[in-house]
Amino acid sequence: MEEVTNAPGTISPATGETLEPVPYTDAALIPEIVTRAHQAQLAWGHMTLSNRAKALHEVVQVILSNYKEVIAIMSQETGRNETECLMSEVVGLKDYLSGAVSAAKKALADEPIKLSSLDYPGKKAVIEAVPRGVIAIIAPWNFPLSNFWKSLFPALLSGNAVVLKPSEYTPRTGEWLAKQCASVLPEGLVSIVQGDGGVGRALLNANISSVVFTGSVSTGKKVASFAAERLIPCSVELGGKDAAIVLADCDLERTVSGIVQWGMMNAGQNCAAIERVYVENAIADHFVSKLATVTSKIRVAPAQDCDIGPLQNATQLQIVKDHVADAVSKGAQILCGGEPTGEGFGFSPTIIDGCESGMKIVDEETFGPVIAVVRVDNADEAVKLSNESRYGLNGSVWTKDISKGQRLARKLEVGIALVNNHSLTGIMPEIPWTGTKETGTGVAGSRHSYDTFVRRRTLFTDVSKKPDPWWLPSSPELAEMGAALVKRNQGSLSALLRLAGLVNKRIAAVKKFSS
């Protein structure tokens, strides 16, 4: 293990105080970690889904019994207060697993194939879900515990082993999770490696069977390319630039409250945070004024009873500062916030009005407590501008006219389209969390995510005591039988009646040939 000082994860985001470094995993040790995972997977993969689910429920009980430990660790690593860590990453854990088990039952169930008894007498086929082996899960720092759930649970329910790779910015939360799993599950089934991109590359170069990656577009493309080279599956989620469309007939107070929630929660460090708001001119002045008033009330850590945390690291703080400065230089107006708090990596919750395409705050992922407001003439213009983004994760429409909202939401080029809410489905394990464009092709949650964790195998069984009539040898009767099959498919009743005799002749010929 390599001791790393002055590295990511060694500074408290809220206070700037120094944290004890977490040693990086020696890359030379990673192949052995993966080998042990394969060994542990063999027995686990042969267990029933029911027994695997029972073991995971025990893991969840251990986590909930010790939850105060992990929310303290998360608070230290992210700067969020413990209540926010509790509510966003722990409270829903038990229900999430229950939903994941329900999805697993659908995804992993055998699929019998109905075969024609006339064409395939005595034959049966079923499609089975087979675990892939060892799944690498590479997770980001914004939700250091719950980012693992959405892949860890289905991976284990499917019968796989898992190697976790937390972000180097939040290593301690991942370490804690791995220890809770190890206290219940077979040795080596859930392992962890710590470190930066070099450690991630070493993990990918080990004998893994599939990879789940959440992070930047540039790194995600490299991961996908590597997986293609290895011919292993990968699931990548690469961020977003989510838009909310606010129509003139919306419930103004609820809409403002919802947009503040999904724009500012976790200081906007959410791939599905609302970063762009397209509001119809008819209500724009009133809406923007109220949005700024509510946003200005938000308290940032380490303030007492804070509502949100700081940015997690200095790099992210600089990105937010740069985006805000770019918008102002191009004519946008800051209505509230717009600058660092002066403590740790805190940034004041910010509303910027008068934004337009060509500004970084509109075009690029900000990942901070900043909402860019773009005024539009009508809903069609809002949809058009929303779809110009290179990302496509969530998109929402806010209106009292539900039918109109649904019609517009279906026009958004996103993986999750919502009416009068945003980002909420990320905590629902039976709903697919997915996107399009540079958000990536990955799917988390629901039965639709399982191609990453299982391969499909066909089990074909022939219980017939007779040889098939098309087996060797070739003969005029075989050609005659083929012609009759073609005529049968064209609706010929006489050909259908002749087939039984031809089939019996062929079976007799095959038996004689092999005797």
Q: Which residues are catalytic?
A: 237, 271
- On whether the CB atoms of residues 223 and 233 are closer than 8 A, the answer is no
Query: Taking the CA of residue 291 as centre, how many other CA atoms within 13 Å lie in the half-sphere pointing to its CB?
Result: 33
| DSSP symbols for 197-257 | HHHHHHHHHSS-SEEEEES-HHHHHHHHHHHHHHT--EEEE----EEEEE-TTS-HHHHHH
Comparing CA positions, the residue from 214, 140, 103 lying closest to residue 454 is 103
Residue whose token pair is 């293990």: 1
- DSSP letters for 20-43: ---PBPPGGGHHHHHHHHHHHHHH
Please compute, for residue 254, the number of CA atoms within 13 A of its CA located in the half-sphere on the CB side: 12
Q: How far apart are CA 156 and CA 164, in angstroms?
A: 12
**3-class DSSP state of 305:** coil
- Residue 256, both tokens: 């403002």
Q: What is the Cα–Cα distance from 452 to 429, expressed in whole angstroms?
A: 16
- Of 410, 403, 449, 460, whose CA–CA distance to 426 is shortest? 449
Q: How far apart are CA 173 and CA 79, in angstroms?
A: 13
- Cα–Cα distance between 488 and 514 in angstroms, integer? 29
Residue 495, judged by CB atoms within 10 A of its CB (0-12, 13-18, 19+), counts as middle
Residue with tokens 């990320």: 426
